[in-house]
Structure 1
Amino acid sequence: MRMRTLLYAALVSTCAFYSTAAAVDVSGTISTTNWTKANSPYRVTAEVVVPTGETLTIEPGVDVLFDANVHFLVQGTLVAIGTETDSIRFMKGTSPVWNRLRIFGGTADLRYVRISDGRSVAGETESPGGGIFADGAMHLTLDHCVINNNVSEGDGGGLALWGGTATVTRTTICDNVAIYNGGGITVGGGIMFTMTDCLIARNDGGVRGGGINASRPSVQILVQNCTIADNKAGSGSGVWAKYQAVLTLINCIVWGNAPSPATFSQLEGVVNASYSDIEIPAGAVYHPTSVMGKMAADVYAGVGNINAAPEFLMPSVGDYRLAAGSPCVNAGDPATPNDADGTRADMGVRPGNGTLPQAFVVLISTDTTWVKSTGPFHVSKPVVVAVGATLTIEPGVDVLFDAPAQMVVSGRLEAVGTAEDSIRFLPGLSAVWGGLRFASGDSSTLAFARVSGVGNASDGMGGVFVTGAGTRLRGSHVVISGNESQVACGGGLVSSGALLDLSNSLVCDNRTPGSGGGLLATSGATLSLDRCGILRNEVTSYHHGGGLYLESVTAVITGSTIAGNKAAGNSGGIRLIGADLTLANSLIAGNSASKYGGGIWMSDGSTAQIENCTITDNTGMDANTPAGGIGVWASVARLKNTIVWGNATRDTDTGSGGAILASYCDLGVTLTGTGNINADPLFVDPANQNFHLQNSSPCIDAGDPSSPKDPDGTRADIGMRELAGTGRLLALPRLMTDPGASLSVPVRASFTPTGGINFAFVADASLLTPADPFVTSVRFGDSPDVQVFANIVGDTVFVSLSSSALAEMSDDTLMVFSFTVASGVTSGTVIPLRWVPYPVSNIGEMPAGLVNGRVQIGVERYGDVTDDGTVSAQDASQVLKFLVRLVPSIIEKRADVTGNGYVSAQDAYYILRRALDPALVFPVEEQEANQRPGAGGICTLSWVFAEGSWNLVADRADAIESGELTLIFNTPSGIHLNGGTMMATRWVENALSVAFVTLPAGSNIVLAVTSADPLSAPPEVRSLQFNEGALTARIATQPHEFSLEQNTPNPFNPSTTIRFALPEAGSVTLAVYDVNGRLVRNLAAGNSEAGQHSVVWDGCDANGRDVASGVYVYRLTAPQGSVTRRMVLAR
């Protein structure tokens, strides 16, 4: 491209005169209306407010003149769209200045608009932005605009933009003044900002940032094909970045700004440039900061950058077009779009043709759901979930990024997968993508989701960035892995001033050159990690916190492992700066730092409460401050029941008034404190990272006697406690009963294939007398391979199970014992049920997690909703009636037998089962970690018309235990509903509320709807819930085409589900083959009806033998044709 266009001159020439028609005085609150050219000018006599929910539309040719020094405040929507020949102007009237356009959480679309003569008022909150100040969850669009001759008595002479989203294109920002920073524009504070083809010239930035001042972490600050020239400021006369802001320049010119150098950054700010012409004078005594690389031959670091006079045509008169021989012509990034003449992009602002640019983002402004059946979803430009909107992503959806774009959540994201069908955010055609960004002031949820492959994000952050007070992200069973922050911090996650709550999640194999290889939290954030793994993350340059970097935050970490992380600076595991940390029952192991603090390093007034943790095998390499385990500098760490042992070069270190206050700890150094010891803790196998304690360990039963007892009922150990749910588990229940009652005590278990289980538990024989028969149920008791022995010696029950064939269980009832409660026991008595620890209790001769139980006497009678002293079907019926509001109230505490804090049809299901089987134990009476409210997974429903009835048919009807739904009828008269074992219904106009429970009946019909006048279509299903939400329900329509879905999960072990759709009934064959074409097994053969179908393959061949790991092919053959897919078995 050979020539340039000066947007400012073109636009001003169209705005030189305004109409002398009779003016309209405006002030106060503006309801939705239009301002027309016929009534222009509109004279502002007092503050104008466009409130939330209202829209002001301004036609081309309108002048808005300010006769008073007041705000023009937009909280709702402002649409001011002029034309190339008839622009809109906001400017002074009889008042010499006006107090700028103020956008607070609203939306403004300004095109061909001029903003002039604004002046912000000095003050702590009123000073930013001379022409425009926009903040909160705002959305701002500027196109073909002029922002000139404005003054800010704070930051941002022309504009100050904070938070929300802003897109600025083909706009001139010139001759503005900021007393402090950012003569042309100040931008930051969590914003997603994109500026292209703009001229920023002749602005005065006061102290810093003549053209642009970038401040604070943001989602994105991207400036592309812009010319930043002839601006001035005390430092960073062209651009300035500070306080962890990342300003990205692509195809830009930064030239003629004074004094030089034109770019500067401090306090972890970054100016990252590529294919840009940035002036660096010869012999400069210091260079601007860039983490993209080092300076070479006085060229700003970054790919494609040059340092050569751009050869503007006549900059003295504002003509910043490029001369024919300019080194900036055809020198832009070859990956960016070509110029209008088809040649390679130039550096600097490009000429326009008067057309509006294509949208830079995909804006989701209303509630939207992404479903698996229409996926995967390919993303080629940033996705923005607007304020007030919710994006729901269903299980099984893949979100694939075909460009390095971000997903920015200003509203809410609900991405909740399942264990069988997770949600994944991954690179598509692009090698990397820009990550998830939450800046909403709202709450979002990730569950059973994966975020991987983020890199080179425009904001410099890694996989997930959560920012802003009030922004909340909660995650469960989330994997954040393989992400990289290439220029800033937080390889996996960053939380700035927000709430981040993760449980049962994994943050692993992330990298950053900044701080926080796995996770960085700062600026008043609140962090909660429960049962999480922070593993193998890395800080690659001289920064800190390989696993976690926590600055000015409150953090609670429980039951977690922080291991194998590295930092090229300090703190391989955890870095604390002015932070408050509670760390409990966690392992800090195998972390390393090139300087000090291999495990944990604290400074700047941090506090840490560390209890029942193991800190071992960490390495700090600095010989002067050799705290391999924990280092405390000007901070306080309180340790209890904790092991700090085997770290290099030594276990602890303190300085600058720092203190470690320890009690009942095993330390590699001698520290005063009650109960401390200095002895080898005798880990089981530390060489293989097994840091459990041997039976002879001096740490066993050596913890604080006032601490809660260990799961085996004995005095607390020193070190990390055993966690339930780690593969081998035996659990006794928590029960409630009355004096003299019969009592069933179930033992639940989880274990991988094993041939033997031995255990013993203690129950007070004076209060609990064994009944006859004592053992009432054994899971494998009917198998000839299993032998069961049970004996009682005093208060102790001894049990041995052995089998010639391997058996396995996953959180299910292994055995049930029967007792009689003593009639004279006092109400309120608690009878402990305590395990005898390993080696007496073991699974396959290995230790198991042991969860103690208890029996409470006369406390609460769960299930007795009618308060008649018994649990009967009438109680279940009352619960169902309450749910549809046939009865106004019940005893909700007794009805909530699942123990989740509310009443549902699932409670009625368990109450009905207790009425049929008094030995049944309600989930609320069980150990909390083992509650199972209902069967889970996915259930597909469809309406089928047969014999005058619309039948709601389920592919997994046997998994449905309870349901709550609403049916909407067009003609509600004469409707009859059948279904379930017990049901309650209630009409409200044309809506029928339904609550039901169902016991196994062998039918796939959930509900049947009949009518006196046959219905032409089934009712609409709304607010459907099965099994208290554990079973995800989908309504399917009759398939229109023959299809075979990818199996889920894939890869799998040991079983997977294959789903297919038949538009017509016919003969079907579904077979599995190995990669050589040999038949492994026929999964289906015979006639199948039209509809959705699913088949489970358990990984066995036709003879019932397990097949080997590898790739297998499955083929569906039907009258409509044949379809083949591949799947992977990974044992």
Structure 2
Amino acid sequence: MQKYRLWVVMLCWVLGITAAAQTFIEAGDVSGSWTKHGSPYIINGAITIPSGSELIIEPGVMISFAGHYKFVVMGKLSAIGNETDSIIFTVNDPKQGWHGLRFLNTVTAEQDTSRLQFCRIEFGRVFGDCPDNRGGAIYAELARLNINNCLIRYNRAVSGAADWGGGAIYCEKTNAVITDNLITMNYSGHDGGGIYCSFSNPKIIRNTITNNQAAYRGGGIAAFSFSSPVIQNNIINKNTAADHGGGINISGGNPLVQHNYIEENQAGAGGGGISCYLSNARIINNQIVSNTAGSGGALDFRGSSPSVFANTVCNNQATGNGGGISNSFEMVGVPVYSNPVLTSNIIFYNAGGQGSQIWSASGCEPFVSYCAIEDMNGEGISGGMNDSGANTDQSPMFISLGENPWALSSNSPCVDAGPAELSGTFWPACDLGGCVRVWDGNGDQLAVIDIGAWEFGSQSLGTEEANPAKKGVFSCIPCPNPAGESISFLINTPQPGEIYIVITLTDGRIFLKTSAYVSEEDHRQIISLSRLPTGVYIYEVYYMGHRLSGRLVHL
């Protein structure tokens, strides 16, 4: 009986701790500190950090919204987690969602910069009239805001009227700093599946922006209303837009788009990689490959004359004209023609209707120099072109192997084949991999820039500009190995997707074949080996066409 009473006391003590380890927050103003000890914080109404106040959220805190409520910040929010203990903004009911973080007028109220660092922000869902229908996870208007090292996923800007969207983030008159984040699986019913910019010049640097969707323009990023963001060192891939700009849509403004991997994006109308409308953007040193669209598989310019320098534009496809680049005019009272300056670009292996590499409408004449263009004297180019000289149609001879298959091989005709004189231009200091941009690659004692986004044989520059986003890796570690009754496969993938695990006997017979959906960067798949005789086996793990394999020892 005494032992039974002791267990009852211990159970009550444990239940008391469990009950105490959560905090209920009712509607109204909030400030002070939210601690890990008080987590999770259950939000039971719309909350606001008033002007002049600050809320500090400690690493490891979970904030869960019990309903569709806003978190308005008019003062300062410091939600700073760390690599091993992030801060989570989520909701009890993912289908209903919550109304996101709303940073309002902190510039005009002279508030300090709010910071979101090592946070996970998910299941925001916004709709209604402007601005309530903007920014599924984050809406910032006249705000000071830094967003760093966050995972922003499964957020939606669902419906509304006027200018709206931003499945994950919407910046209105806000020059936010958005760096080193994973922005994935967000949706906009209008523009900007990942990020929407309006009258804003944010710095969007070293992010992975992937698998976002826009029902209209800008699957990854949409820049409107004279916005000129810096879009640099990002991985922008697998985003879709039903209209223009699968990866990036630019309308007005003159952004800098530099050192990005822009790959496998899709647009229904134009610009699978980038679409420009009435913009003179600078598009420099990007790898724009394997994108698809109706016109301009990689780049679609409408009434735009951007500077397009040192890009690798390959393997893109258009169902209409301009497999690589499409140039057309826009009527704005008078026709505005697209006359981009194309210098030192590789434009190869693209496919489309007329102009497999470059198509230009009547009146549009791109200025082309020091470019490698497939079939440039045949079907590769359709329409006008101002040939400024030093162009070639020789194969660029990529290495076609490893992590950077679009880098140049030692015998590429693009090595040291760019312009010798670079003064007064927009040339970057480094190539796409962060190496010195002008290098003597052919050993003739004269350093000349290479054509395309990669510099052959160069050395790392080691500056902030040369700090590209790391391309995600696919890895698998079986442990323990040798294994007993079960084995865990620790799997890392660049983005969410389906994996397949196959275990075969030494004679080739399949013992096990299973699949799983990996939604996190790190995934643990546990497999029972109890029915497997002791011995040596082969494991294979498949992910998006890639395969890893090795030996598995069962004791």
**Separation in 2, partners of 1:497, 1:363:** 25
From 625, 629, 632, give the equivalent of 2:327: 632
**Alpha-carbon contact 1:643-1:719 (below 8 Å) kept:** yes
Structure 1's 401 and 472: CA in aligned 2 closer, same or farther, altered over 3 A? farther
Q: Tell which structure's C-alpha radius of gyration is larger.
A: 1
From 600, 603, 612, give the equivalent of 2:299: 600
From 76, 89, 95, give the equivalent of 1:399: 89
Look up the equivalent residue of 2:184 and give its one-letter code. S
Q: Say if 2:181 is the partner of 1:646.
A: no
**Separation in 1, partners of 2:366, 2:206:** 30
Q: CA deviation at 1:437?
A: 3.2
Q: Say if 2:450 is the partner of 1:717.
A: yes
Q: CA deviation at 1:428?
A: 9.4
Q: What stretches of structure 2 of length at least 5 have no aligned partner?
A: 1-42, 107-112, 127-133, 329-336, 378-384, 423-428, 430-435, 441-446, 468-473, 489-522, 528-547, 550-555
**Separation in 1, partners of 2:262, 2:148:** 21
**Separation in 2, partners of 1:536, 1:546:** 8
Over residues 568-611 of structure 1, what are the superposed CA-to-partner deviations in whole Å (9 max), with x where a residue is unaligned?
12221111111121111111111111x2111111112x221111
**Separation in 1, partners of 2:417, 2:64:** 55
Q: CA deviation at 1:361?
A: 2.0
TM-score (norm 2): 0.62
Over residues 713-747 of structure 1, what are the superposed CA-to-partner deviations in whole Å (9 max), with x where a residue is unaligned?
4311111124xxxxxxxxxxxxxxxxxxxxxxxxx
**Separation in 2, partners of 1:506, 1:598:** 21
**Separation in 2, partners of 1:705, 1:529:** 27
**Separation in 1, partners of 2:465, 2:252:** 36
**Separation in 2, partners of 1:476, 1:683:** 31
Structure 1's 1075 and 364: CA in aligned 2 closer, same or farther, altered over 3 A? farther
Q: CA deviation at 1:646?
A: 1.6
Q: CA deviation at 1:415?
A: 0.8
**Alpha-carbon contact 1:475-1:503 (below 8 Å) kept:** yes
Partner of 2:279: 579
Look up the equivalent residue of 1:414 and give its one-letter code. R
Over residues 454-507 of structure 1, what are the superposed CA-to-partner deviations in whole Å (9 max), with x where a residue is unaligned?
1353556243333433x121111111111111x312111111111221111111
**Separation in 1, partners of 2:67, 2:223:** 29
**Separation in 1, partners of 2:390, 2:487:** 67
**Alpha-carbon contact 1:394-1:416 (below 8 Å) kept:** yes
TM-score (norm 1): 0.31
Structure 1's 1110 and 480: CA in aligned 2 closer, same or farther, altered over 3 A? closer
Partner of 1:621: 319
Structure 1's 599 and 617: CA in aligned 2 closer, same or farther, altered over 3 A? same
Local SS of the residue matching 2:165? coil
Local SS of the residue matching 1:398? strand
Q: Say if 2:410 is the partner of 1:704.
A: no
Alignment of 1:489-888 (within 5 A): 489-540=191-242, 543-593=243-293, 595-604=294-303, 606-622=304-320, 626-633=321-328, 634-649=337-352, 650-668=356-374, 669-670=376-377, 672-685=387-400, 690-707=405-422, 710=437, 712-713=439-440, 714-722=447-455, 838=457, 850-851=459-460
**Separation in 1, partners of 2:369, 2:449:** 13
**Alpha-carbon contact 1:463-1:480 (below 8 Å) kept:** no
Partner of 2:20: none
Q: CA deviation at 1:515?
A: 1.0
Over residues 24-57 of structure 1, what are the superposed CA-to-partner deviations in whole Å (9 max), with x where a residue is unaligned?
xxxxxxxxxxxxxxxxxxxxxxxxxxxxxxxxxx
Partner of 2:150: 449
Partner of 1:481: 184
**Alpha-carbon contact 1:379-1:400 (below 8 Å) kept:** no
Look up the equivalent residue of 2:121 and give its one-letter code. F
Local SS of the residue matching 1:706? coil
Q: CA deviation at 1:409?
A: 1.5
Alignment of 1:95-106 (within 5 A): none
Structure 1's 1052 and 694: CA in aligned 2 closer, same or farther, altered over 3 A? closer
Q: CA deviation at 1:710?
A: 3.6
Structure 1's 716 and 1052: CA in aligned 2 closer, same or farther, altered over 3 A? closer
Structure 1's 452 and 675: CA in aligned 2 closer, same or farther, altered over 3 A? same
Look up the equivalent residue of 2:399 and give its one-letter code. V
**Alpha-carbon contact 1:539-1:566 (below 8 Å) kept:** yes
Look up the equivalent residue of 1:390 and give its one-letter code. L
**Alpha-carbon contact 1:362-1:381 (below 8 Å) kept:** no
Determine which structure has greater relative contact order: mean sequence separation of CA pairs < 8 Å that are 6+ residues apart, divided by chain length.
2
Over residues 351-404 of structure 1, what are the superposed CA-to-partner deviations in whole Å (9 max), with x where a residue is unaligned?
xxxxxxx99622222210121243254463333333333343433111112342
Alignment of 1:120-131 (within 5 A): none
Structure 1's 577 and 449: CA in aligned 2 closer, same or farther, altered over 3 A? same
Structure 1's 596 and 473: CA in aligned 2 closer, same or farther, altered over 3 A? same
**Separation in 2, partners of 1:646, 1:455:** 36
**Alpha-carbon contact 1:378-1:428 (below 8 Å) kept:** no
**Alpha-carbon contact 1:404-1:457 (below 8 Å) kept:** no
Structure 1's 586 and 1052: CA in aligned 2 closer, same or farther, altered over 3 A? closer
Q: Say if 2:121 is the partner of 1:425.
A: yes
Look up the equivalent residue of 2:156 and give its one-letter code. G
Q: Structure 1 segments of 4 or more deviating over 4 A?
A: 376-379, 686-689, 929-932, 1051-1054, 1073-1079, 1109-1113
Q: CA deviation at 1:696?
A: 1.6
**Separation in 2, partners of 1:409, 1:478:** 19
Look up the equivalent residue of 1:394 and give its one-letter code. G
Structure 1's 463 and 379: CA in aligned 2 closer, same or farther, altered over 3 A? farther
Structure 1's 369 and 697: CA in aligned 2 closer, same or farther, altered over 3 A? same
From 438, 449, 463, give the equivalent of 1:928: 463
Alignment of 1:93-492 (within 5 A): 361-365=46-50, 366-378=53-65, 380-395=67-82, 396-402=86-92, 403-405=96-98, 406-410=100-104, 411=106, 413-417=114-118, 423-427=119-123, 435-455=136-156, 457-459=158-160, 461-469=165-173, 471-485=174-188, 487-492=189-194
Structure 1's 462 and 662: CA in aligned 2 closer, same or farther, altered over 3 A? same
Number of residue pairs matched?
382
Over residues 276-329 of structure 1, what are the superposed CA-to-partner deviations in whole Å (9 max), with x where a residue is unaligned?
xxxxxxxxxxxxxxxxxxxxxxxxxxxxxxxxxxxxxxxxxxxxxxxxxxxxxx
**Alpha-carbon contact 1:387-1:440 (below 8 Å) kept:** no
**Separation in 2, partners of 1:407, 1:596:** 37
Partner of 1:810: none
**Separation in 2, partners of 1:572, 1:513:** 14
**Alpha-carbon contact 1:451-1:463 (below 8 Å) kept:** no
Structure 1's 609 and 930: CA in aligned 2 closer, same or farther, altered over 3 A? closer
Q: CA deviation at 1:645?
A: 1.5
Partner of 1:190: none
Q: RMSD of the TM alignment (CA)? A: 3.7
Structure 1's 367 and 660: CA in aligned 2 closer, same or farther, altered over 3 A? same
**Separation in 1, partners of 2:362, 2:401:** 33
**Separation in 2, partners of 1:560, 1:545:** 15
Structure 1's 1077 and 568: CA in aligned 2 closer, same or farther, altered over 3 A? closer
Local SS of the residue matching 2:392? coil
**Separation in 2, partners of 1:566, 1:468:** 26
**Alpha-carbon contact 1:555-1:581 (below 8 Å) kept:** yes
